[in-house]
């Protein structure tokens, strides 16, 4: 003997058939309904559902193909290529891996900035108190300010600029190795010389300028942000 239950799912009637063999069915809170053939409209609807499911599976298999696509989230992202020179066995064991990353991760242009402007002992290094203009690939496309601090961490080197925009102090941190950073222009150097060079600051971090707007205006006199 067989029992049929009606179930409704997404506006579609589904017939569930339960076989009880030779035993009599037990109606434990369930209503037994005699088997009725499905209507033509329901069969067409089920067929359409199967066809749409097949189309979805085909689109999923196409999207998960092994073809390499460009990076979809940013046009300035740089995908590094595989090294042409073979990797030394000591690097595979983890010896000297940080020196290898510091040498190969930044691009040649970024490596030149890190080794000259943001070096500790280079004669043309930047000192806190210098006035810089940074050009970016996104908004704001350019930002000028006084160099407050430099964080030297190899490829992760960064610096902080501060400026006063519409009587509001604005600080921005820039990473030298970022692909969004396009150019760094030195407007005024802090070094103790004459002319366009400002005086040398005694501190490595000029965070006290946040509470000294007069000293901030003295350093950036004649410089527009």
CATH number at residue 164: 2.30.30.790
Give the pLDDT score at 3. Answer: 47
With respect to residue 205, please indicate whether it lies within any of the assigned structural domains: yes
Give the pLDDT score at 60. Answer: 61
Instruction: Mark whether 110 and 197 lie in a shared domain.
Output: yes
Q: What is the mean pLDDT of residues 9-14?
A: 44
Nearest to 155 by CA among 97, 104, 90, 84: 104
pLDDT of residue 104 exceeding 90, the answer is: no
CA distance 160 to 153: 14
With respect to residue 55, please indicate whether it lies within any of the assigned structural domains: yes
Give the pLDDT score at 114. Answer: 92
Give the pLDDT score at 59. Answer: 65
Instruction: Mark whether 45 and 136 lie in a shared domain.
Output: no
Whether the Cβ atoms of residue 211 and residue 162 lie closer than 8 Å to each other? no
Instruction: Mark whether 114 and 213 lie in a shared domain.
Output: yes
Instruction: Mark whether 118 and 183 lie in a shared domain.
Output: yes
CA distance 34 to 4: 7
Examine the fold and report which residue of 44, 59, 74 is the final residue of a domain before the chain moves on.
59
With respect to residue 197, please indicate whether it lies within any of the assigned structural domains: yes
Instruction: Mark whether 188 and 119 lie in a shared domain.
Output: yes
Nearest to 216 by CA among 127, 160, 148, 135: 148
- Residue 53's domain comprises 2-59
Average pLDDT, the chain: 76
82, two tokens? 């595989």
Most trustworthy range by pLDDT among 82-96, 152-166, 209-223: 152-166
With respect to residue 83, please indicate whether it lies within any of the assigned structural domains: no
- pTM for the structure as a whole: 0.58
- 46-76 pLDDT, tens digit per residue, is 788 878 787 777 666 655 444 556 667 777 6
Number of domains into which the chain is organized = 2
Most trustworthy range by pLDDT among 36-40, 44-48, 156-160: 156-160
* Cis check: omega of the bond before 27, within 30 degrees of 0: no
Q: What is the mean pLDDT of residues 31-54?
A: 67
pLDDT of residue 177 exceeding 80, the answer is: yes
Instruction: Mark whether 117 and 181 lie in a shared domain.
Output: yes
pLDDT of residue 106 exceeding 50, the answer is: yes
């Amino acid at each position: 003997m067989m029992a049929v239950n009606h179930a409704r799912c997404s506006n579609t009637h589904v017939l569930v058939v339960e076989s009880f063999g030779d035993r009599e069915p037990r109606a434990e809170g369930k209503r037994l309904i005699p088997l009725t053939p499905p209507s033509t409209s329901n069969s067409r609807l089920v067929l359409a559902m199967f066809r749409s499911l097949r189309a979805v599976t085909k689109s999923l298999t196409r999207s998960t193909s092994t073809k390499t696509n460009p990076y979809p989230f940013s046009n300035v992202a740089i995908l590094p290529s595989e090294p042409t020179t073979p990797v030394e066995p000591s690097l595979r064991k983890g010896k000297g891996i940080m020196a290898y990353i510091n040498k190969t991760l930044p691009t040649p242009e970024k490596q030149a900035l890190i080794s000259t402007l943001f070096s500790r002992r280079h004669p043309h290094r930047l000192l806190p108190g210098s006035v810089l203009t940074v050009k970016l690939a996104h908004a704001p496309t350019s930002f000028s300010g006084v160099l407050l601090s430099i964080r030297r961490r190899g490829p992760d080197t960064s610096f902080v600029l501060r400026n006063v925009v519409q009587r509001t102090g604005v600080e921005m941190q820039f990473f030298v190795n970022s692909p969004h950073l396009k150019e760094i222009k030195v407007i005024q150097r802090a070094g103790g010389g004459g002319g366009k060079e400002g005086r040398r600051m005694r501190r490595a971090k000029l965070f006290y300028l946040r509470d000294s707007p007069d000293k901030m205006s003295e350093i950036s006199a004649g410089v527009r942000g």
